[in-house]
Amino acid sequence: MNARIREILSWYGSDSAGTRANLARMLAHGRLAGTGKLVILPVDQGFEHGPARSFAPNPPSYNPHYHFQLAIDAGCNAYAAPLGFLEAGAHQFAGEIPLILKLNNHDVLHEDKDPLPAVTGSVREALRLGCAAVGYTIYPGSLHCVRMYEQLRAIAEEAKAAGLAVVVWSYPRGSALSKEGETAMDVIAYAAQIAAQLGAHIIKVKLPSVHLELAAAKKVYEAEQIPITTLAERVKHVVQSSFDGRRIVIFSGGAKSDDKNVFDEARAIRDGGGFGSIIGRNSFQRPKAEAVTFLQTIMGIYAGDRP
């Protein structure tokens, strides 16, 4: 265990040896092992957007084994997916890649301005499947946030008691937020803070824009002249908002986009002190060999390789 991992683990001093070991498992795995950086492969789009929108651009990805192998081949730190996808491969790939069981999911077959995902897995299932962590999505801003926070409370308590790590996807959304507000600087920082206060070990948010959504917050950002002009500054503010950097915060890649963009974003995350990326569609929606190269380029950025 190198010094950086020991340092990171020191932030989680109240956690059990089991949970700390599982955090270490992810930090010590793959291409970024020992760097304190993480690139995680998440594949929940089959549930969230439907199979064709997710997998048709690269048909081998309909197969759940595909994603295990992609995460292994690319040297990701972990692979995250809902129950069905993990069940379909956890036995065969046991011990080859740390797994994160996503415990709630949401589909787009019904309308909801204030989303409420369904709990689709459990800590017991995560243990059965040999996972290192559980994942859970909250939508701060949704009218159903109380229910989500309370489910997360129970799940996190049970996960910690069982020695698992807790990864929280914190995505502001709901009838009181504008579309632009969902990625506003103040709102994303707030979302990271909420996840941290709820006891997340690893926090996952979207990259924030320069927009400020809430009037009371805007006043403070202006009065205190918090620097948020560049993406790296905004990442830095999110990291600061996550217990002054004492919680691991990673950022999502979002919809498929231009590779150069993604690499620039990774550089900004790195320069702002972020801990890495969680990259789904941008990786699995292209042929596997390309995806491996693509992911390793990102890992190289985090590892500080000369580009």
Catalytic residues: 204
- Please give the structure tokens belonging to residue 60: 């081998």
Binding span for a second copy by CB under 8 A among 31-39, 88-96, 253-261, 288-296: 88-96
- Stretch 232-271: interaction string toward a second copy, x if CB under 8 A: -----x--xx-xx-xx------------------------
272 lies in the site for a second copy, by CB under 8 A: no
What share of residues in the chain are helix, strand, coil (percent, to 5)? Answer: 45, 15, 40
8 A C-beta contact, residue 168 and residue 135: yes
The burial class, CB within 10 Å (0-12 / 13-18 / 19+), for 47 is buried
Residue among 111 and 258 whose Cβ is closer to a second copy: 111
Rounded least distance, CB 77 to a second copy, Å: 22
Report the chain's C-alpha Rg in angstroms.
18
Rounded least distance, CB 293 to a second copy, Å: 23
22 lies in the site for a second copy, by CB under 8 A: no
Beta bridge partners of 278: 40, 252
21 lies in the site for a second copy, by CB under 8 A: no
Binds a second copy by CB under 8 A, chosen from 4, 7, 59, 293: 59
194 lies in the site for a second copy, by CB under 8 A: yes
Tell me the CA distances in angstroms from 114 to 142, 145, 176, 277, one per residue in order.
4, 9, 9, 26
- The DSSP element (H or E) to which 99 belongs, if any, is strand 99-102
Binds a second copy by CB under 8 A, chosen from 9, 21, 72, 88: 88
Q: Is the dihedral of CA 93, 97, 98, 102 positive or negative?
A: negative
Binds a second copy by CB under 8 A, chosen from 82, 98, 135, 274: 82
Rounded least distance, CB 57 to a second copy, Å: 6
8 A C-beta contact, residue 132 and residue 77: no
Binds a second copy by CB under 8 A, chosen from 87, 96, 259, 271: 87
Residue among 87 and 271 whose Cβ is closer to a second copy: 87
186 lies in the site for a second copy, by CB under 8 A: yes
